[in-house]
């Protein structure tokens, strides 16, 4: 028996490959399926099943492509209603993979169809559980806000989740392993651990959902208080996962198009089209195409594309370094952004060397910011609410990055703003958005709040 976790840091997502005696299964695959085909080839196995823990909102799964390529059967849990051929498992239904068994355990709460899968080894011993977005390490999945569009409240989902975790997962043997669908950094939970596998015994000690820290009512309140609104693209991803999507290979074929400068300029004037610059923020700030948006491949690219661009139908023109275009297209497709028109051949160098206008964004390090702090400067914090609650600069204004495009009316375009996040990645995204909207003097704070806290004596306020 072989169990392999395929972890994708950009999405903080774990997919799983299970193999026994020449048969294999994949759980929650990503849209590009080459990794799973390679693992099957290396283990000389045939992929028999593709198990889905739920209809994912934060990424496009590879279930349909993988099933079409291999002949594998797609399996969902109870209450799932996909619009394609699949097996809708009953609670506790078993599936044989070589000499091992996978049991579907209906664990609703994150979504109504959420299902975990218990793997039993060749001797029938429970080895591990794949919990999807039901149980994370140190946390649970928040009630999937995409379900609000189905008339189910977050409080109802939280109560159902409490019952699933305590009645279906907690009674399992202490020594089994927990393999979650996501780790720290995912928007699907509030406070996940950075580790990606743990024993159930340890989770019963440290995870508030399992250790008796809360009554059911207390759990519901803890889980739903300060629950953010869903990123706009989440329902679109759910629909693609439920109805079907274009294979990634086809998306790549039509998107990996080098564009000459004149063609690039012409396309940029089309309605609902943006220029997306995916280079490193340190390169972007010293020169970029006017009105372009920065979201760098070196950070949490795909989730921030979804949160910032919002509409999966938007047309995208890429500006990237040589050799980055394919990677950018692949990551865009992971969250359903399939309308990439191509990339500027020669990149920003071509634009600049042809005499076109360029923009820049100023920067200041934490020590420089400290020198200016007493001059009534304007500081903008673009971190999440939970991050800010743990400490913030006195008198700073707060607009989370995901809202910066729509909720900037409190800002004054004639003023200079020093913009910071936690480490310096999101602040540059925010600066590029503000620049596009006519805020001409934005200064990126290098190293963000982490550098401010560690390298200065500026006053930190606490909520």
Output the domain CATH number for residue 448. Answer: 3.40.250.10
Phi then psi for residue 96, to 5 deg, are -90, 130
Give the tens place of pLDDT for each residue, 145-203: 666 556 788 899 999 999 999 999 999 999 999 999 998 777 666 677 889 999 999 99
Together in a domain, 277 and 215: no
The answer to whether residues 183 and 120 touch, using CB atoms and an 8 Å cutoff, is no
pLDDT of residue 192: 77
**pLDDT-based confidence at residue 430 (cuts at 50, 70, 90):** very high
The pair of structure tokens assigned to 110 is: 């994150």
Share the mean pLDDT of the chain: 94
* Total domain count, the chain: 3
State mean pLDDT over 334-339. Answer: 96
Domain assignment present for 111:
yes
For 315, the domain range is 249-353
pLDDT of residue 148: 57
Domain assignment present for 240:
no
Long-range Cβ contact pairs of 454-461 (< 8 A, separation 24 or more) = 454/366, 455/366, 455/367, 456/366, 456/367, 456/369, 456/370, 457/370, 458/369, 458/370, 458/373, 458/393, 459/393, 459/394, 460/391, 460/392, 460/393, 460/394, 461/391, 461/392, 461/393, 461/394
Q: Give rounded-to-5 percent helix, strand, coil for the chain.
A: 30, 25, 45
pTM greater than the 0.85 cutoff: yes
State mean pLDDT over 322-327. Answer: 96
Query: How far lies 120's CA from each of 14, 54, 100, 127, 319, in Å?
Result: 20, 21, 6, 5, 48
Query: By C-alpha distance, which of 94, 42, 38 is closest to 69?
Result: 38
Whole-number percent of the chain with pLDDT over 70 = 98
Give the tens place of pLDDT for each residue, 94-120: 999 999 999 999 999 999 999 999 999
Domain assignment present for 162:
yes
Whether pLDDT at 41 is above 70: yes
Domain assignment present for 243:
no
The pair of structure tokens assigned to 262 is: 């004149």
Together in a domain, 300 and 212: no
> What's the rounded Cα separation, in Å, for the pair 68 and 55?
18
The answer to whether residues 439 and 358 touch, using CB atoms and an 8 Å cutoff, is no
pLDDT of residue 147: 63
Asked which of 99-108, 158-167, 400-409, 423-432 is least confident by mean pLDDT, the reply is 400-409
Long-range Cβ contact pairs of 36-39 (< 8 A, separation 24 or more) = 36/6, 36/62, 36/66, 37/66, 37/69, 37/70, 39/4, 39/6
State mean pLDDT over 415-425. Answer: 95
pLDDT of residue 149: 54
Domain boundary among 353, 388, 412: 353
- DSSP β-bridge partners for residue 277: 294, 319
Whether pLDDT at 429 is above 80: yes
Out of 61-75, 184-198, 375-389, 440-454, the most confident range is 61-75
- DSSP β-bridge partners for residue 386: none
State mean pLDDT over 335-357. Answer: 97
């Amino acid at each position: 028996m072989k169990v392999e976790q395929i972890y994708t840091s950009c999405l903080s997502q774990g997919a799983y490959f299970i193999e026994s005696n020449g048969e294999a299964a994949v759980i929650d695959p990503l849209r590009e399926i080459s990794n799973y085909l390679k693992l099957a080839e290396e283990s000389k196995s045939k992929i028999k099943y593709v198990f889905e823990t739920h209809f994912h909102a934060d990424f496009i799964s590879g279930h349909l492509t993988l099933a079409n390529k291999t002949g594998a059967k797609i399996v969902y849990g109870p209450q799932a209603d996909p619009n394609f051929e699949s097996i809708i498992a009953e609670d506790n239904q078993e599936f044989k993979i070589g000499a091992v068994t996978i049991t579907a355990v209906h664990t609703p709460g994150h979504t109504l169809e959420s299902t975990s899968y218990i793997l039993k080894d060749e001797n029938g011993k429970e080895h591990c559980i794949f919990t999807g977005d039901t149980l994370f390490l140190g946390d649970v999945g928040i009630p999937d806000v995409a379900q609000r569009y189905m008339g189910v409240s977050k409080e109802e989902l939280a109560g159902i989740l409490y019952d699933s975790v305590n009645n279906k997962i907690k009674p399992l043997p202490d020594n089994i392993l927990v393999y979650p669908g996501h780790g720290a950094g995912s928007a699907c939970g509030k406070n996940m651990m950075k580790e990606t596998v743990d024993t159930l015994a340890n989770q019963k000690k440290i995870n508030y959902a399992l250790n008796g820290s809360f009554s059911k009512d207390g759990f519901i309140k803890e889980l739903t208080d300060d629950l953010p609104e869903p990123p706009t693209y989440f329902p679109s991803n759910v629909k693609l996962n439920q109805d079907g999507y274009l294979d990634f290979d086809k998306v790549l074929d039509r998107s990996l198009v080098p564009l000459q400068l004149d063609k690039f300029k012409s396309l940029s004037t089309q309605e609902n089209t943006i220029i997306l610059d995916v280079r490193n923020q340190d390169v972007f700030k010293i020169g970029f195409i006017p009105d372009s948006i920065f979201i760098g491949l070196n950070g949490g690219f795909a989730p921030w594309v979804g949160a910032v661009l919002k509409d999966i139908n938007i047309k995208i023109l890429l500006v990237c370094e040589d050799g980055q275009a394919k990677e950018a297209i692949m990551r865009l497709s992971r969250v359903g952004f399939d309308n990439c028109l191509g990339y500027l051949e020669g990149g920003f160098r071509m634009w600049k060397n042809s005499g076109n206008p360029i923009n820049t964004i100023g920067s200041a390090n934490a020590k420089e910011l400290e020198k200016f702090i007493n001059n009534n400067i304007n500081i903008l914090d673009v971190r999440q609410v939970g991050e800010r609650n743990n400490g913030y600069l006195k008198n700073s204004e707060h607009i989370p990055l995901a809202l910066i495009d729509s909720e900037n009316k409190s800002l004054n375009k004639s003023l200079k703003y020093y913009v910071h996040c936690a480490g310096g990645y999101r602040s540059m995204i925010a600066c590029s958005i503000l620049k596009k909207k006519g805020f001409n003097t934005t200064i990126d704070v290098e190293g963000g709040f982490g550098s401010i806290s560690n390298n200065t004596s500026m006053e930190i306020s606490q909520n």
